Amino acid sequence: MRKYFLGFTALSIITGLTASGVALAQEPVGPDPETSQTYVPPLKSPDLNPAPENANISRSSEEVILSRQAITIDESWMAPDPSQPAHVRFVLSLPELPSFTTSCVNADICAPVANSADANYFAVTAKVDGKPVDFNIVTKANANGHDITALLAHEHIPLMTDSKASQDALAKLKPEILAQWSNEKDGWVDNESTDAIYGGWSVTSELSFEADIPAGKTLSTEIKYQPSVGHGLGANFLGHDEGANHTWVDHKERYCLDDGFMKSARKMADAFKPYEWKGLWEKQIVFDLLSPVAGRTQAEDFRLVVDNGSTDDLVSFCGHVVKKLSATSWQVLPFDGEHGTPTKDFEVLFISKTEK
């Protein structure tokens, strides 16, 4: 693979005069103070790692293809002694999924994941050397900083709070247990809803599989999943004078917004009357670059592609080197691969006139 390094450049990529939407990453769900619009932040899109007991396994290459519809991660792995075979356990740790009650402003605006009622809530699939493999999934529940997995299991309560099975099981709890779990001290259950009883705990899932690296060869893995895409109606970074707009300041730093991007975004907003910027949608994706994956300092072995999917949408992100591949896709080196390691995750902003 050709090595690209030109030094740091703040880049905004513009693909049209329409846009697609996102929430403010890492901000709580709720009304934005400036627009009274509701934003749902994305959960971080994870990367595959060798399990801690296999930390000496090294990655020889990685390609990440990122879009709003899917993230595909292709990697090659080497044994510590290439002349000897190695048995490896790989782990994909899904980010913490907030409880149904805390992640939903209403029934239609919840944590943006593929299936919040399933332990594999990013709808992950995996292949090893081109062949599908099954995961072992370990899910844990947390409430108020306490692991309550065993407690829920003892009462036969499914962990996924957005599932009907969990809600039905909670409805069958003994009244004294339900009262205890619903009190202010525990606060594990919301029984004030008129349609169901919901669990108030968050969950995390660890997906793992095992594979063998043959002597003298590399092992290839492919992970594919639906990313968590934050979303919100109202491109409020366009709504005020830049110096007084905290969202514009955040977005400029986070996504490297430049004059060209801002000009195109304003043109799109001006054409979208009568709503203007309040009718545009923001969408965001955050991809994990900070997990301890071996070899990520080697730029020639790391390839990241952003696929916007539409020439009608605007997209912006930061990168050291960007190479245009097509009208809607770019190859990105998001960190200084020759002289350093990633210092922040890779974040992408999309702007659109439509929710989808």
Give the confidence band of 116 by pLDDT, cuts at 50, 70, 90: confident
Same domain, 201 and 126: yes
* The pLDDT value given to residue 98: 86
pLDDT in tens, 76-112: 999 989 899 999 999 999 999 987 655 554 444 566 8
CB 314 within 8 A of CB 283: no
Q: Do 96 and 216 have their domain in common?
A: yes
Instruction: Report residue 247 as tokens.
Output: 């969202």
Domain, as residue range, for 179: 73-226
Q: In sequence order, what are the residues at sequence separation of 6 or more whose Cβ sits closer than 8 angstroms to the Cβ of residue 220?
A: 74, 75, 76, 77, 128, 129, 130
Higher pLDDT among residues 13 and 296, named by residue: 296
Residue 131 lies in a domain: yes
Q: How confident is the model at residue 18 (pLDDT cuts 50, 70, 90)?
A: very low
Average pLDDT over residues 169-192: 82
pLDDT, tens digit, for every residue of 240-258? 655 556 777 888 889 998 8
Is the pLDDT at 4 greater than 80, yes or no? no
Do residue 78 and residue 213 come from a single domain?
yes
d(CA 159, CA 332) in angstroms, rounded, equals 38
Domain boundary at 226, 253, 285, which? 226
Question: Is the peptide bond prior to 274 cis by the omega test (within 30 degrees of 0)?
Answer: yes
Which residue's entry shows tokens 């994956």? 293
Position 61 in a domain: no
Query: What percentage of residues in the chain have a pLDDT greater than 90?
Result: 43
For 174-183, the pLDDT digits (tens) are 989 888 888 7
What is the pLDDT, as a whole number, of residue 300?
56
CA neighbor of 48 nearest in space, from 204, 208, 205, 203: 208
Confidence (pLDDT) at 131? 97
Checking if the pLDDT of 232 tops 50, the result is yes
Residue 125 pLDDT: 98
Predicted confidence at residue 250, as pLDDT, reads 84
* Same domain for 162 and 87: yes
User: Are 322 and 272 found together in one domain?
Assistant: yes
Residue 202 lies in a domain: yes
pTM as predicted: 0.84
Give the per-residue pLDDT at 238: 82
Q: How far is CA 223 from the centre of its chain?
A: 14
